[in-house]
Every structure is written in C-alpha cells, then in structure tokens.
Amino acid sequence: TPLLLLLLPLLLPREQQETLYEEILRETGDSAVDEAGLGRMKYLRACLQESQRLAPAASGISRRTQVRV
C-alpha cells in the first residue's frame, strides 16, 4: 500500500523519524491536521517525494499519442 511505502524508509533512520514527528507535533499541536498545516509540513512533503522516488506508484505506464508521430 502507498502508506507502507511511505513508512518503510522511515523505519530505519531514527533521526528522520524524530524530525518528522517533531514537525507534525509543531504544526498540529492538539488540533486536527488541516490543509494549511499540511502545506507548512515541508519535511513530510520531502519524505513523501522520496518514497515516491524510491518506489514509484506508476512505474511502467507509458502514454500513447492520438496521432502517429
């Protein structure tokens, strides 16, 4: 699942786990996560992008043109 692909790389490096956890706590506090809070979570975005780089969800999908090139 995509969530597992995000969490898998975070299982080993302890510093990355702590950095992400601190960012989430700082941005959310005791409240629920909202769109503005997600936009401020730069380290979370970097983790998501790195997990997609390591295990892209759509690898091997190619496009077809409408007209012959």
pLDDT one-digit tens code per residue, 11-50: 668 888 889 889 989 988 888 888 888 899 999 898 888 8
Q: Look up the pTM and report it.
A: 0.66
Q: Which residue has the higher pLDDT, 44 or 4?
A: 44
What is the rounded distance in angstroms from the CA atom of residue 40 to the CA atom of residue 27? Answer: 7
Structure tokens at 44: 């979370």
What is the rounded distance in angstroms from the CA atom of residue 24 to the CA atom of residue 33? Answer: 9
Query: Residue written as tokens 């706590």?
Result: 25
- pLDDT of 10 higher than 70: no
Count helices and strands (H / E) in the chain. Answer: 4, 0
Q: How confident is the model over 47-56, as a mean pLDDT?
A: 78
Structure tokens at 20: 């992400």
* Residues present in the chain in total: 69
